[in-house]
Amino acid sequence: MTAEPRASRSPRAGEAQPPDLARLVRSLSDRADISQLIDRYITAFDLLTEEPRDDEWYRSVFTEDVRLVFPIGGHTGIDGLAEFNRAARAKWARTHHLSANHLVTLDGDRATVRAHLLVTHVPDIDGAAHHLSTGSHFDAAAVRTPAGWRLAKMVFTLVWISGEPPAG
């Protein structure tokens, strides 16, 4: 006679969860929070002409001493970050950023991220000029703060480019 498989029992309301489950839930939640910070920043850049952001908004994504490194330059600190992004975005009529493959490595209240980025830049509103497309990856560092996770550093590395960047 073969024994029937035992059904796994779900914990009852109010019953303590196994420690491994609590760790797993926290890990998944931390990864989702960090990935969402990246997505908020990347997608906000495309919307800067319709939805301008101020330095206070960037405080909801970055640490006060954030360090951003792009192939075209960089910025350190929250102060002036909104203007830095507006100036970069002003070179294009439209942009379209796609960030994917967020590989988040957690280490307590710190984390690192490696992700890919595809960007299309449209230089004028009617699209008559040539588009500039790029493929990059970025490495980021995040820290848990009293206000939640914040990005402390993002370093973008250009992998390929198709088209011509704007003059000046």
CA distance 9 to 163: 59
Listed in sequence order, the residues at least 6 apart from 163 whose beta carbon sits closer than 8 Å to its beta carbon are 121, 130, 131, 132, 133
Side chain identity at 93, as an amino acid letter? A
Residue-wise pLDDT tens digits, 41-58: 999 999 998 888 999 999
DSSP state of 107: E
CATH of 19-162, one of 3.40.1160.10, 3.10.450.50, 3.30.1950.10, 1.20.1260.10: 3.10.450.50
Between 6 and 17, where is the model more confident?
Answer: 17
Chain centroid to CA 67:
14
Per-residue confidence (pLDDT) for residue 128, from 0 to 100: 60
Q: How far is CA 124 from CA 16, 43, 73, 119, 131, in A?
A: 59, 20, 22, 16, 9
Residue-wise pLDDT tens digits, 79-128: 999 999 999 998 888 899 999 999 999 999 999 999 999 999 988 766 56
Query: Can you tell me whether residue 68 is helix, strand or coil?
Result: strand
